[in-house]
Amino acid sequence: MASALIGRQFALSLQKNLWLSAPGCRYVSKAAPKTQLEFDYDGPSMKTSVPGPRSQELTKQLGNIQNVGAINFFCNYEESRGNYLVDVDGNRMLDIYTQISSIPIGYNHPALLKLMSNPNNLSTLVNRPALGILPPENFPDKLTESLLSVAPSGMTRVQTMACGSCSNENAYKSIFIWYRNKERGHNTPSDDDLSTCMINQTPGCPDLSILSFMGAFHGRTMGCLATTHSKAIHKLDVPSFDWPIAPFPRLQYPLEEFTRENAQEEARCLEEVEDLIVKWRQKGKPVAGIVVEPIQAEGGDNHASPDFFRSLRNIACKHGCAFHVDEVQTGGGSTGKMWAHEHWGMDNPADIVSFSKKLLTGGYYQRDELQADKAYRIFNTWMGDPSKNLLLSEVLNVIRRENLLEEVTRSGKALLNGLYELQAQYPGILSRARGQGTFCAIDICDDETRNRILLKARDKGVLLGGCGDRSIRFRPALVFKEYHVHIFLNIFSDVLAQIK
Ligand code: PSZ
């Protein structure tokens, strides 16, 4: 009986190639190709609720050493494979959150394991250099074949760093240095500049500002934190700068029904940006740069149109502000393009593009004139890590070889269509399904229900993340295929049926 039913549904799904939304119907997709299964599992497998007993024991142990309030569970990275994260209690979960959007091609990808087992690469793993002073012989070649091979349009220079915050922090410094040199008309600081900077006074430490957006997340270090406005807990008790904060568009969905309203909303925000630039100049704190995420991620997956970003870029040019696009979360392929800003279709999209997460190393690309003019102005001990460039080169090879950006576009469509269908089926729970590639999100009726859904999905073997006040976000690896989408939709549908 069961197999007859599955057979009928399989035929139906083949025939219509649709997510079957009638109660009890399942989406059955063709089995994973064998090559895929060699490094992926065929589905979730749950032995305990999560966190299981071993995770709880380890959390207690670690609790004697650190704050463990944020720990979800402990992982078995040896057993994790492809899209599946295995925990220490033997639970195997379909990972649609991937370490906060940071695993490009799944766990233990064979190409990366092979790379790491090559004896020629051992020295890169064992000897971590202070890259700013003593780089290895192959460093220029490795940068060229990794980061520069996917450089954004108009950018030929890249600076590696350790993490996303560190990248943004140094990018802001590059912006300020560039801006002051532009103001001076030359690169030589005065004696007054040199003495006042030592005591945090002007003109050596100028009153310049970076304009950011409400809902943005650019990191937690002190400069970055002044531009982060997604949750109070990130900012509480930490001194900050008086820098301008513009509203980010709050689009209404479905987009095609609210074209006029959304265009008005974007125009309102752009107008506010220009007003703030003028106000802060009058206050004596000129805006040296504008920083923006192509999709506000931590703040709730807030999108804006390519037109919005093109206009913003023009405003930055008009007022002499550097335009910094923070692609730490959007970069690396999950929107279906290597960089989310490519969707804006511009030849000169930005002055600085920062990255980390899926690119494995942090860093930022910059236009030539943004590069700091003297040695040791942008500097720290590691300045990145060559072993990460090595891994990134291979990740990019896999992306090209396996056409993963096309795969992302395909599975992203399947995911979004599935979310649209579920949203139609559960209008009281779900709304505002949105996304680009697999970088998708959906809103839940309230925060409490959102959190219940996340926990229930996890106990059924699906890892998802929250963002904003009440959104669920999808951040799978680039190897997340259509059949993974179907596994997810079936489980999510069961969770929703139990929640309602
Ligand atoms: O709670 C946190 O600290 C989180 S949760 C997700 C992030 C941070 N994302 C990091 C991030 C980002 O999404 C964007 C757009 N810009 C900068 C950062 C900072 O990167 P890291 O965490 O590497 O310093």
pLDDT in tens, 272-309: 999 999 999 999 999 999 999 999 999 999 999 999 99
The pLDDT value recorded for residue 37 is 56
Residue to mutate, 165, 298, 352, 360, ligand 1, most ligand atoms under 8 Å from C-beta? 298
What's the confidence (pLDDT) of residue 373? Answer: 86
Token pair for 218: 């650019």
| Cα–Cα distance measured from residue 178 to residue 46, given in angstroms and rounded to the nearest whole number | 54
Query: Is the predicted pLDDT of residue 19 greater than 80, yes or no?
Result: no
Give me the pLDDT at residue 40, please. Answer: 87
Minimal-distance CA residue to ligand 1 atom 23: 164
Q: Would you state the pLDDT for residue 23?
A: 45
Given a cut of 60, whether residue 87 has pLDDT beyond it is: yes
CA of 190 to the centre of ligand 1 (A): 37
Q: For 228-277, write each residue's pLDDT tens digit.
A: 999 999 999 999 999 999 999 999 999 999 999 999 999 999 999 999 99
User: Hey, how many other C-beta atoms are within 10 angstroms of the C-beta on 209?
Assistant: 24
pLDDT band at 32 (very low <50, low <70, confident <90, very high): low
CA distance 249 to 271: 12
Gap from CA of 494 to ligand 1 centroid (Å): 31
Mark whether 275 is an active-site residue. Answer: no
pLDDT score for 20: 42
**CA-CA distance, 107 to 480, in Å (whole number)?**
12
Annotated catalytic residue within 301, 351, 357, 456: 357
Which one of the listed residues 89, 326, 351, 443 is annotated catalytic?
326
Residue 165 CA to ligand 1 centre (angstroms):
7
List the catalytic residue out of 373, 381, 447, 469: 381
Q: Which of 73, 213, 217, 323 is catalytic?
A: 217
pLDDT higher than 90, residue 36: no
pLDDT given for residue 324 in this prediction: 98
Is-contact 216 299, C-beta < 8 A?
yes
Mean pLDDT of all residues belonging to the chain:
93
Closest CA to 251 of 239, 261, 243, 238: 261
Q: Residue 17: its pLDDT value, please?
A: 39
Reply yes or no on whether the pLDDT at 310 is more than 90.
yes
Question: What does the pLDDT average to over 67-80?
Answer: 97
Name the band, by pLDDT with cuts 50, 70 and 90, for residue 429.
very high
Cβ(467)–Cβ(428) below 8 Å: no
Atom of ligand 1 nearest to the CA of 219: 19
User: CB-based contacts of 201: which residues, under 8 Å, 6+ apart?
Assistant: none
Atom of ligand 1 nearest to the CA of 329: 13
Q: Which of 109, 110, 132, 136 is nearest to 122 (CA)?
A: 136
Q: Which ligand 1 atom is the nearest neighbour of the CA of 166?
A: 24
Residue 500 clears pLDDT 90, i.e. is over it: no
First to last CA, the chain: 29
Average pLDDT over residues 12-16: 36
**Percentage, residues of the chain above pLDDT 70:** 93
Percentage of the chain exceeding pLDDT 90: 91
More confident residue, 16 or 383: 383
Q: Does 326 participate in catalysis according to the annotation? A: yes
**Mean pLDDT over residues 36-56, rounded?**
91
Q: Whose CA is nearest to atom 20 of ligand 1?
A: 164
Measured in Å, residue 357 CA sits from the centre of ligand 1 at 8
pLDDT at position 96 is: 98
Q: Which of 177, 199, 228 is nearest to 351 (CA)?
A: 177
Protein residues whose CB sits closer than 6 Å to any atom of ligand 1: 100, 163-165, 168, 217-220, 293, 297-298, 326, 328-329, 356
Average pLDDT over residues 178-203: 96
144 is catalytic: no
Amino acid type, 240: S
Residue 150 to residue 443: CA distance in whole angstroms:
33
Question: Does residue 22 surpass a pLDDT of 90?
Answer: no
Report how far ligand 1's centroid is from the alpha carbon of 8 (Å): 46
Extended beta strands in 230-273, E state: 245-246
For residue 100, give the ligand 1 atom closest to its CA: 6
Predicted model pTM:
0.94
Distance between CA 74 and CA 76 in Å, rounded?
A: 7
Return the pLDDT at 175.
Answer: 98
Taking 70 as the threshold, does the pLDDT of residue 34 lie above it?
Answer: no
What is the 8-class DSSP label of residue 459?
A: H
Q: How far is CA 263 from CA 102, 147, 251, 260, 274, in A?
A: 33, 35, 9, 5, 17
pLDDT band at 30 (very low <50, low <70, confident <90, very high): low
